[in-house]
Amino acid sequence: MGKKLLEVMADKIRVKHYSISTEKTYVHWAKRYILYHNKRHPKDMGRIEIEQFLTHLATKLNVSPTTQNQAFNAILFLYEQVLNISLKDQNIQALRAKERKDIPVVLAIDEIKSIILNMR
């Protein structure tokens, strides 16, 4: 019996000399993509299912744009490098994750002095 799809994917990643963490991450996202679609084989899915999964990550799981891009890159690798299915002409349009707006707090010297004096 042949290797399973995710094992083939891991082998392809190793051949390309990607890091072990990239291998684990890409296989993880490919597995989640397949499980999200009730274990359908990726060759039986395409643009619509990819968009649904990536939109789900952004809207229901509230992942960061970086995480969503990582998942997308893993799925692209799965299709293009493992299944030999090009997605270049697919124009995948998932709802993009929102950039988090964590504004750093910067205090003026006088504000810091005031805080220190009030601590005493």
Which amino acid belongs to residue 3? K
Least confident window among 17-21, 65-69, 86-90, 108-112: 108-112
Angle of CA points 19, 25, 41, to nearest 5°: 120
Query: How far, in Å, CA of 20 to CA of 120, rounded?
Result: 51
5-63 confidence digits (pLDDT tens): 999 999 999 999 999 999 999 999 999 999 999 999 999 999 999 999 999 999 999 99
24 Cβ contact list (under 8 Å, min separation 6): none
Number of neighbours of residue 57 by Cβ within 10 angstroms:
24
Q: How many domains does the chain have?
A: 1
CATH label of the domain that carries residue 34? 1.10.150.130
Residue ranges making up the domain that contains 46: 5-119
Which amino acid belongs to residue 91? N
Asked whether the CA dihedral 27, 29, 30, 35 is positive or negative, the reply is positive
pTM of the model: 0.79
